[in-house]
């Protein structure tokens, strides 16, 4: 009863935008001191664990406030870890950014996430069969990189508003299957649903990206799935929301290798049911769907994604 009451209090705090349940920790990785926000349920671990990766130009504190995931994770008995990137951008596999600016390849973000998982495991918090990664935009792209290079430690990813680099399939060599769910807006003005170069106010990213379907197809083929099943439209939750949701799945996937593509029809470069934006923000980023909730969608997917 005491644990339930504590969870409800923290659930309410997180819903009101207060990250009071989170603790900031320091982790040494690659000769650098790195940091992360950590929220753990009461009681004794190990617990299922979600790594939440912020978008570019953001940090852990910013992404903590953008979805219902912190509240939902705590209520469901999950550890939630939101690490900070150096200079607010993940080394997600690109070699260059806008205008040809080079990415510092000495920043080992894959090693940092491995060290973070090791730290949480040493603290008795992590259930190694239930370590999951999600993130949006630059954080979603980093989720793909981790699936390629850290598949020995994570079992599922849920990238939002992100697709894979066009040459990633040639470089991506996971050592085991992972469950993958992509959530992508069809009218995303930055990460094109149909593929191409990423766009922003600072210009075009120099590197080509796969389409949302091709990104999902890569994982379906890698996991040994069969053909793509026709898309299913979800019933509308909000009648005055012009966006809609369509889901594609692949047939005959192994139990630990299911793949889903959630297309937000008319959706832009935002978390589903994320913070409301002013007109200028909507002009730059596009529409935010209210038909699904990012935190709810993530939890539903990861709840079904533990290794046997």
What's the pLDDT tens digit per position in 107-148?
999 999 999 999 999 999 999 999 999 999 999 999 999 999
What pLDDT does residue 12 have? Answer: 31
What proportion of the chain, given as a percentage, has pLDDT over 70?
A: 90
What proportion of the chain, given as a percentage, has pLDDT over 90?
A: 79
Residue in 307, 301, 220, 221 with CA at minimum distance from that of residue 256: 307
Residue in 173, 109, 119 with CA at minimum distance from that of residue 141: 109
Asked if 84 contacts 138 with a C-beta cutoff of 8 angstroms, the reply is no
On the question of a cis peptide bond just before residue 46, with omega within 30 degrees of 0, the verdict is yes
Residue in 55, 73, 49, 61 with CA at minimum distance from that of residue 18: 61
Q: Which residue has the higher pLDDT, 308 or 149?
A: 149
What pLDDT does residue 80 have? Answer: 98
What pLDDT does residue 55 have? Answer: 96
Q: Does position 8 have pLDDT exceeding 60, yes or no?
A: no
Q: For the whole model, what pTM was predicted?
A: 0.91
Residue pLDDT, tens place only, 11-56: 333 333 334 479 999 999 999 999 999 999 999 989 999 999 999 9
Q: Which residues pair with 264 in a beta bridge?
A: 185, 245
**In this structure, how many other beta carbons lie within 10 angstroms of the beta carbon of residue 203?**
14
For tokens 């990137």, the residue is 85
Average pLDDT over residues 218-243: 95
**What's the helix, strand, coil split of the chain in %, to 5?**
30, 30, 45
Q: 74 is written with which tokens? A: 């705590």
| Span 2-303 CATH architecture | 3-Layer(aba) Sandwich (3.40)
Measure the CA–CA gap between 289 and 25, rounded to whole angstroms: 33
């Amino acid at each position: 009863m005491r644990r339930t009451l504590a969870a409800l209090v923290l659930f309410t705090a997180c819903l009101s935008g207060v990250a009071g349940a989170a603790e900031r920790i320091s982790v040494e990785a690659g000769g650098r001191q790195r940091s992360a926000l950590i929220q753990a349920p009461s009681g004794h671990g190990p617990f299922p664990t979600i790594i939440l990766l912020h978008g570019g130009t953001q940090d852990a504190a910013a992404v903590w406030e953008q979805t219902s995931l912190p509240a939902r994770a705590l209520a469901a008995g999950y550890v939630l870890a939101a690490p900070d990137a150096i200079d607010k951008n993940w080394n997600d596999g690109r070699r260059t950014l806008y205008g040809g600016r080079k990415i510092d390849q000495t920043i080992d973000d894959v090693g940092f996430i491995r060290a973070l998982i090791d730290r949480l495991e040493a603290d008795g918090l992590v259930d190694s069969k239930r370590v999951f990664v999600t993130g949006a935009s630059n954080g979603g792209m980093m989720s793909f990189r981790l699936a390629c290079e850290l598949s020995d430690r994570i079992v599922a990813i849920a990238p939002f508003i992100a697709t894979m680099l066009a040459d990633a399939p040639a470089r991506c060599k996971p050592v085991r299957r992972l469950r993958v769910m992509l959530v992508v807006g069809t009218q995303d003005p930055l990460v094109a649903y149909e593929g191409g170069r990423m766009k922003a106010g600072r210009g075009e990213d120099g590197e080509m990206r796969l389409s949302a379907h091709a990104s999902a197809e890569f994982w379906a083929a890698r996991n040994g799935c069969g053909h793509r099943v026709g898309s299913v439209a979800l019933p509308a939750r909000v009648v005055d929301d012009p966006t809609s949701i369509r889901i594609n799945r692949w047939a005959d996937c192994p139990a630990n290798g299911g793949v889903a593509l959630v297309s937000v029809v008319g959706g832009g470069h935002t978390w589903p049911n994320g913070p409301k934006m002013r007109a200028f923000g909507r002009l730059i980023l596009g529409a935010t769907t209210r038909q699904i909730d990012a935190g709810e969608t993530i939890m539903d997917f990861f709840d079904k994604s533990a290794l046997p």
